Structure 1
Amino acid sequence: MRTGLIRTLGRSAILTLTLAILPATVSAQDEASLCLITAERVDAGETLSAAEREEAHQACLAALAATGSVVQKYQFQEADFAITGTRAGD
Structure 2
Amino acid sequence: MRHRHLPPADEFPVELALLGDPELLALYGRAMRQLERESIQFGAAEPETEFRLEELRVELDRRDSRDALKASKRRIRGLYGGIGSEPPDSLYGGDF
Q: Give me the TM-score of the superposition, normalised by structure 1.
A: 0.40
Which has a greater percent of helix?
Answer: 1
Q: Which TM-score applies when normalising by structure 2?
A: 0.38
